[in-house]
Amino acid sequence: MMIISASYRTDIPAFYGDWFINRLDAGYCLVENPYSSQPYRVSLKREDVDGFVFWTKNVGPFLPQLAEVHRRGYPFIVLYSINAYPRALEHAVVESRRAVEHLKQLADTYGARVPVWRYDPIVFSSITPPDFHRQNFARLARALEGATDEVAVSFANIYQKSRRNMDIAGRQFGFTWNDPADDVKRALMQDFLDIARAHGMQLSVCAQRQYLIPGAADARCVDAVRLSDVAGYDVTARAKGHRDGCGCFASRDIGAYDTCPHGCVYCYAVQNPAKARQHYQQHDVTGEFLIEKHNPETQRLRDTERL
């Protein structure tokens, strides 16, 4: 059995919920390895799936599908990113007030162990300096008190592909971004820890152990322990991080990069926002892949599966 991640590569709950349910009906999906382009099959049959980890910035469109996932007996957790940043940084994300309502609805319907709030990534800019984050984080933590027991945070890694998008947005909307010194980040992390504790939440740090201050936890976004609590039985996945410092358990991700049209300028998963919008518009809700590319290996895989 395997934990299925849906998905740190894109926002399946916000944009691809109907495709997801169609693949549950089919019992499998096909995924292309983003590095080798090799396609592979992922079983979605109940007997092969320990549970789902859903990643999203807007679970609202997915609430009917979540009810169906629950009805079919699959346990799941929802990692809900709520940053409430200025529109210059995330111009198409659902407003934070509605996102908070969604997260509370998840807790009321499925229990407080199901949703995990993510304040992630922490972007430093002229419109989001450290004091902005202190006030913003405190406001959101107050609103979410009692609806979740964990908030996962990390500082933005501005990769080359996101650097370009940040620079373009900065010129367009008149802001600058920066990467402050570690002492600034640790001071902010301490304030976050105090705020999280005051509102009944564990602060966890995602894949950045250099900022693990005393009292903070090592984040496990794909968390077999939490999933076990939700499921009511032991999910025995092994620890297998996605990158250095990652505390996640082993999983299979069924998403694809460059497919999320949210347009967050800091996003590591979208190199080309126009291509992401195009992929979304061309998406086949009945397809085996989230986005199918012209890959000669795909037919070979299909032929093999029919043998």
Task: Name the fold adopted by 2-306.
Answer: TIM Barrel (3.20.20)
- Give the three-class secondary structure for 202: strand
Mean pLDDT of 278-286: 95
Widest pairwise Cα distance in the chain: 61
CA distances from 267 to 98, 160, 242, 289 (A): 21, 11, 17, 22
**Helical segments of the chain, H only:** 12-15, 17-26, 63-71, 96-110, 130-144, 160-173, 182-198, 224-231, 273-282, 296-306
Q: How confident is the model at residue 110 (pLDDT cuts 50, 70, 90)?
A: very high
Confidence of residue 174 (pLDDT cuts 50, 70, 90): very high
Domain boundaries, the chain: 2-306
Q: What pLDDT is attached to residue 307? A: 42
- Predicted confidence (pLDDT) per residue in 25-62, tens digit: 999 999 999 888 899 999 999 999 999 999 999 999 99
User: What mean pLDDT do residues 95-106 have?
Assistant: 97
pLDDT on residue 249: 87
Which pTM does this prediction carry?
0.94
The Cα–Cα gap between 133 and 89 comes to 14
